[in-house]
Homo-oligomer: A and B are copies of this chain.
Amino acid sequence: MATVIALLPARSTADGTHRRLLEEALLRFGERGFHGVSVREIAEAAGIRASSIYAHLESKEELLFQLMYIGHEEHYEMLRHALLDAGADPFSQIRHVVAAHVRLHATYPLLARVCNRELPALSEANRDRVLTIRSNSEQLILDVINRGMSRGVFHVSDPWLGYAAIGSMGIRVAEWWDQRAYDIEDVAETYADFAVRLLSGAPAT
């Protein structure tokens, strides 16, 4: 096996062929998108015929949904645990949360890309399930920012824009991390610095 690190979080309970399908689908969806990859290609990469997929999944979309659900769950859980580890200091909180955000995107870059690109390919019901988790993560970060604001240690003209900017920095790590020679922890530290600077800098102009 060429992959040194796991493609999927341990959270995925799928095993055997099911897991193999998720992994091979992830590799391809991550590179060429949901609509750019056929069921036959995934099946044959997993060593079975296309028709055999339907013993494990009810549709191609379910493959995408399971990946996106696992990805969003893992992300939220990483943020939540990071916050629990951070204590009560807003600086520590934002540093822990941003570092976890970055780590997720560098550890599972393909999963993160799929999660951030393929929302429109999901049925409305499945999209809603994913968006529910996403809004929990958004709220978690916004809570940290707002708390820091009300304690007077963070100063931004608009908290949501602060959230958007910090979130964006991390999301994009999934697009370049595996092509560059950075250490995950260095990036996580640096981005945590960036977030602190961005939120706490003296009000500009």
- Residues of A whose CB lies within 8 Å of any CB of B are 31-36, 117, 120-121, 156-158, 161-162, 164-165, 167-173, 176, 182, 186-187, 190-191, 193-194, 196-198, 200-201, 204-205
Taking a contact as CB atoms closer than 8 A, the residue among B32, B169, B190, B205 that contacts A35 in the complex is B32
Given the contacts A31-B120, A121-B32, A196-B204, A172 and B164 also touching, CB distance less than 8 Å? yes
Work out how many copies of this chain go into the complex.
2
B193, A157: Cβ atoms closer than 8 Å: yes
- Residues on B with C-beta less than 8 A from A164 are 169, 172-173, 176
- Residues on B with C-beta less than 8 A from A165 are 169, 191, 194
- Residues on B with C-beta less than 8 A from A197 are 197-198, 201, 204
- Residues on B with C-beta less than 8 A from A201 are 193, 196-197, 200-201
Taking a contact as CB atoms closer than 8 A, the residue among B32, B167, B194 that contacts A120 in the complex is B32
- Residues on B with C-beta less than 8 A from A117 are 33, 117
Name 17 interchain pairs, CB-CB below 8 A, sorted by A.
A32-B35, A32-B120, A33-B33, A33-B36, A33-B117, A33-B121, A35-B36, A164-B169, A165-B169, A165-B194, A168-B168, A193-B204, A194-B198, A197-B197, A197-B198, A197-B204, A200-B201
- Least CB separation from A201: chain B residue: B197
The 6 closest A-B pairs by CB, nearest first: A197-B201, A168-B172, A35-B35, A35-B36, A193-B204, A165-B169
Given the contacts A36-B35, A120-B31, A205 and B190 also touching, CB distance less than 8 Å? no
Given the contacts A36-B35, A36-B121, A193 and B168 also touching, CB distance less than 8 Å? no
Q: Could you tell me the distance in whole angstroms from the C-beta of A112 to the nearest C-beta in chain B? A: 13
B172, A187: Cβ atoms closer than 8 Å: no
- Residues on B with C-beta less than 8 A from A33 are 33-36, 117, 120-121
